[in-house]
């Protein structure tokens, strides 16, 4: 497969152009049923934002349709046995290494069962799209635990969602129905007789469980004499002679003259308005048939056309959503007599008119493909930590930075920022009273660049300076970074794209500590800070380490090095806390979320941060961070620091006992595992690794000491003089 132009370097997070979301789609079947039609509609509506590779676990027309949409598709034929899925999983692991996707979309339970274990082990985010509750109680539970996100395709309120935390996304109306008169003309052109009979439509694959035989049986019963059955569809691959069986049944029941077979009809759902009713008679859950069936797209198409629907609430869930139920006649899909009686009722003009009007009212507000695609792509992008991926443009932003005696780095950061500005963007730099030429340098930038504003605020700390900058903002969105940081190309665009979705109020970017200097700097970078590459590929080790020891990115715990938020969010959070000299950004983010802000993490908003020039200077910084944690009083921040301090204090006690020594070694090994692995991957691995345990202890002790000092200071402040 030849890679498409635009892949490679330009598609990496942080690039200056809006890279689309690299998505690997795994689909279970080659034919085009409801789940496959949903997928194709998604790709059509989201085309500019997705860069798609696809693996289809069976050959068929879906492969060609994917290729027609510029997806790089391949077939990996897979049988029904568990061993077949295992073999497919091994091939999919190779595909993951080759494609390097941002995210995997598994379309259905079979696709998810094949790809979820290998995606989980490789750290590739996975979104499972659940079209029906098949295997929910068994395989579905495992897949849900392995998936980053689960999307269940079901009408709003229409079905139980088996998996806690799954996102319910209604399926879209795939095509607007033809007006009734045009649909009737099209049906006549396809061979449906104009004989005065009412038309009962079924657009479905021909399979024994789809209930076409029940409709044929109903035609032969009293009450259905005024109806003709019109079937649009072809044999299911698993039932190659189903139409022959159904034609034989119609002959035996004496209704052959009232059954019309249209075969394959392109976009058959558009003809729904030409029918007087549509039947959805799937026998899911009946012994010998599939355990469950997804919400029928024919239901949506019929409601949009104002056509009443005959449906079994056990197989499609209108009974739980009164809005949908208003357009339906609910019945037992296995009972031909109930179907015939319902057809007799619908032959009553008043009831038909009432049901049709209710159906049309529901169909008119049903979501269309662009709306559903926007939701699905947002979920995919969130899973990949690339919110807004593929969006071009977005709202203007005001970049706020504070500075004090940073003359040596002013020009570097200002150039990096100015190069990323759009026409309506703005930069506000608040100087806290510099005496080394910083203020003069800022004034020079202000004179040269009209979008730069320098504000002098002697004595203002970092929180007060940010609050001053926010008040001076000329836009609804504000971004923050610090001097000493190096925003990657496209940093501001990454924040802008997330803001452009309209779904978030707080966008937390990522940062990477600069470890390009001495051995101890590389060691400290490995010990003390998270790594953007590990956020992109959250392997089992990275996930476990983050849960046990922290040091991961968290959208709620934002950093002033890379963050954006609305001015309304800043106001609701009370601004940056000016009584804190450190940890003020984390506290700000937590306050914003507590006030209702919707946070998101973005790998596309990346900066590199220079560490302090000496070990002692870094120690003072960590001590200050710990003090800020203590002053904030936040139980999470305080608990982490004190837990580490207590752990070091317990080591001498553990060393006195044999089992204690084993526990201590095991605990330290786990604690140092990821930093040592990082050191092993870098330059001079042995020398860097030698620094790791020393710097880990130094950092933790300094933070714990500072936290204790902050707690004592906060207690003294509460006690008063």
Q: Does residue 206 contact residue 268 with C-beta atoms inside 8 Å?
A: no
- At residue 207, φ and ψ (nearest 5 deg) are -140, 150
- Flag whether pLDDT at 454 surpasses 60: yes
- Flag whether pLDDT at 217 surpasses 50: yes
Identify the pLDDT of residue 472.
96
Identify the pLDDT of residue 314.
58
Find the mean pLDDT for residues 405-432.
95
Identify the pLDDT of residue 320.
40
Q: What percent of the chain has pLDDT over 70?
A: 92
Identify the pLDDT of residue 315.
52
Token pair for 532: 């953007």
Identify the pLDDT of residue 635.
86
Identify the pLDDT of residue 9.
31
Its sign, for the CA torsion 553, 557, 558, 560, is negative
Find the mean pLDDT for residues 376-381.
97
More confident residue, 251 or 324: 251
pLDDT digits (tens, 9 = 90+) for 72-94: 999 999 988 888 889 999 999 99
Find the mean pLDDT for residues 5-14.
36
Query: E strand or H helix at 382, and its extent?
Result: helix 369-383
Beta bridge partners of 398: 426, 478
Reported as half-sphere exposure (CB side, CA atoms, 13 A), residue 505 has a value of: 19
For residue 561, CA distances in Å to 51, 126, 267, 466, 467 come to 30, 29, 52, 12, 15
Q: Which residue has the tokens 């709003």?
A: 156
Q: What percent of the chain has pLDDT over 90?
A: 65
Q: Which residue has the tokens 């504003």?
A: 453
First to last CA, the chain: 74
Residue 29 to residue 41: CA distance in whole angstroms: 16
Question: Which band of pLDDT confidence, cut at 50, 70 and 90, is reported for residue 174?
Answer: confident
Lowest-confidence segment of 9-18, 460-469, 517-526 by average pLDDT: 9-18
- Flag whether pLDDT at 120 surpasses 50: yes
More confident residue, 350 or 275: 275
- Flag whether pLDDT at 199 surpasses 60: yes
Identify the pLDDT of residue 157.
43
- Flag whether pLDDT at 558 surpasses 80: yes
- Flag whether pLDDT at 386 surpasses 60: yes
Identify the pLDDT of residue 318.
41
Identify the pLDDT of residue 271.
94
- Flag whether pLDDT at 218 surpasses 70: yes
Identify the pLDDT of residue 11.
37
Number of helices (H), then strands (E), belonging to the chain: the values are 26, 21
Q: Which residue has the tokens 């392109």?
A: 266
Q: Which residue has the tokens 């019963």?
A: 221
Find the mean pLDDT for residues 527-542.
93
- Flag whether pLDDT at 8 surpasses 70: no
Question: Which band of pLDDT confidence, cut at 50, 70 and 90, is reported for residue 179?
Answer: very high
More confident residue, 642 or 425: 425
pLDDT digits (tens, 9 = 90+) for 489-511: 999 999 999 999 999 999 999 99
Q: Calculate the average pLDDT of the chain.
A: 89
Domains of the chain: 8-172+369-382 (3.40.50.2000), 180-365 (3.40.50.2000), 385-716 (3.90.550.10)
- Flag whether pLDDT at 322 surpasses 90: no
Q: What own/partner pairs with CB < 8 Å and gap ≥ 24 does 34-38 have?
A: 34/131, 34/171, 34/294, 34/296, 34/297, 35/107, 35/108, 35/129, 35/131, 35/153, 35/294, 36/62, 36/65, 36/107, 37/174, 37/297, 38/107, 38/129, 38/131, 38/153, 38/171, 38/172, 38/174, 38/297
Q: Which residue has the tokens 């795939």?
A: 174
pLDDT digits (tens, 9 = 90+) for 38-70: 999 999 999 999 999 999 999 999 999 999 999
- Flag whether pLDDT at 288 surpasses 70: no
Find the mean pLDDT for residues 340-345.
93
Question: Which band of pLDDT confidence, cut at 50, 70 and 90, is reported for residue 6?
Answer: very low
- Flag whether pLDDT at 687 surpasses 60: yes
- Flag whether pLDDT at 220 surpasses 80: yes
Lowest-confidence segment of 198-202, 361-365, 545-549 by average pLDDT: 361-365
Q: What angle do CA 602, 605, 607 make, to 5 degrees?
A: 130
pLDDT digits (tens, 9 = 90+) for 561-586: 999 999 999 999 999 999 888 889 98
- Flag whether pLDDT at 551 surpasses 90: no
Identify the pLDDT of residue 321.
46
Question: Which band of pLDDT confidence, cut at 50, 70 and 90, is reported for residue 396?
Answer: very high
- Flag whether pLDDT at 284 surpasses 80: no
Find the mean pLDDT for residues 322-349.
82
């Amino acid at each position: 497969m030849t890679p498409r132009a635009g892949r490679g370097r330009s598609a990496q997070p942080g690039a200056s152009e809006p890279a689309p979301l690299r998505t690997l789609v795994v689909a279970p079947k080659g034919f085009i049923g409801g789940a496959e039609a949903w997928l194709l509609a998604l790709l059509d509506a989201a085309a500019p934002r997705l860069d798609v590779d696809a693996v289809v676990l069976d050959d068929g027309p879906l492969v060609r349709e994917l290729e027609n949409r510029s997806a790089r598709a391949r077939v990996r034929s897979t049988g029904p046995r568990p061993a077949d899925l295992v073999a497919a999983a091994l091939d999919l692991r190779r595909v993951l290494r080759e494609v390097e996707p941002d995210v995997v979309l598994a379309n259905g339970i079979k696709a998810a069962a094949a790809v979820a274990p290998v995606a989980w082990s490789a750290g590739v985010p996975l979104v499972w799209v659940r079209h029906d509750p098949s295997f929910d109680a068994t395989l579905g539970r495992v897949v849900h635990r392995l998936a980053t996100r689960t999307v269940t395709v079901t009408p709003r309120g229409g079905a139980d969602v088996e998996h806690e935390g799954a996102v319910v996304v209604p399926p879209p109306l795939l095509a607007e129905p033809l007006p009734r008169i045009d649909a009737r003309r099209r049906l006549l052109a396809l061979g449906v007789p104009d004989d005065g009979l009412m038309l009962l439509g079924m657009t479905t694959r021909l399979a024994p469980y789809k209930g076409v035989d029940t409709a044929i049986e109903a035609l032969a019963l009293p009450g259905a004499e005024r109806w003709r059955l019109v079937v649009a569809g072809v044999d299911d691959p698993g039932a190659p002679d189903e139409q022959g069986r159904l034609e034989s049944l119609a002959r035996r029941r004496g209704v052959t003259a009232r059954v019309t077979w249209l075969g394959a009809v392109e976009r058959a759902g558009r003809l729904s308005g030409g029918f007087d009713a549509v039947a959805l008679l799937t026998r899911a859950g009946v012994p010998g048939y599939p355990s469950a069936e997804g919400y029928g797209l024919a239901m949506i198409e019929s409601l949009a056309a104002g056509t009443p629907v005959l449906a079994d609430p056990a197989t499609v869930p209108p009974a739980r959503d009164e809005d949908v139920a208003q357009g339906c006649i609910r019945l037992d899909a296995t009972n031909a007599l109930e179907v015939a009686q319902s057809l007799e009722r619908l032959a009553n003009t008043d009831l038909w008119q009432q049901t049709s009007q209710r159906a049309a009212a529901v169909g008119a507000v049903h979501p269309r493909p662009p709306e559903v695609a926007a939701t699905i792509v947002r979920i995919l992008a969130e899973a990949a930590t690339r919110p807004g991926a593929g969006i071009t443009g977005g709202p203007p932003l005001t970049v706020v930075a504070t500075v004090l005696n940073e003359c040596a780095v002013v020009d570097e950061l200002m150039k990096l920022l100015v190069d990323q500005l759009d026409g309506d963007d703005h930069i506000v730099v608040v100087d806290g009273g510099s005496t080394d030429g910083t203020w003069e340098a800022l004034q020079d930038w202000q004179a040269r660049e009209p979008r730069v504003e320098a504000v002098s605020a002697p004595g203002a700390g970092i929180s007060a300076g940010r609050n001053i900058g926010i008040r001076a903002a000329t836009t609804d969105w504000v971004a923050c970074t610090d001097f000493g940081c190096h925003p990657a190309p496209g940093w501001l665009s990454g924040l802008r794209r997330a803001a452009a979705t309209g779904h978030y109020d707080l966008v937390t970017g990522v940062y990477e500590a600069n470890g390009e200097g001495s051995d101890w700097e590389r060691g400290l970078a490995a010990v003390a800070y998270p790594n953007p590459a590990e956020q992109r590929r959250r392997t089992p080790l990275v996930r476990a380490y983050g849960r046990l020891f922290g040091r991961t990115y968290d959208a709620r715990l934002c950093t002033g090095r890379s963050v954006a938020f609305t001015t309304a969010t800043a106001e609701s959070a009370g601004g940056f806390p000016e009584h804190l000299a450190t940890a003020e950004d984390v506290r700000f983010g937590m306050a914003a979320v507590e006030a209702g802000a919707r946070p998101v993490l973005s790998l596309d908003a990346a900066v590199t941060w220079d560490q302090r020039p000496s070990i002692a200077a870094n120690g003072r910084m960590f001590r200050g961070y710990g003090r800020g944690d203590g002053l904030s009083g936040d139980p999470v921040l305080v608990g982490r620091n004190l837990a580490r301090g207590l752990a070091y204090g317990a080591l001498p006690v553990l060393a006195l006992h044999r089992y204690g020594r084993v526990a201590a070694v095991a605990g330290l090994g786990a604690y140092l595992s990821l930093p040592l692995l990082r050191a092993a991957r870098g330059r001079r691995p042995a020398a860097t690794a030698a620094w790791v345990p020393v710097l880990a202890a130094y950092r933790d002790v300094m933070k714990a000491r500072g936290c204790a000092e902050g707690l004592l200071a906060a207690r003294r402040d509460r006690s008063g003089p």
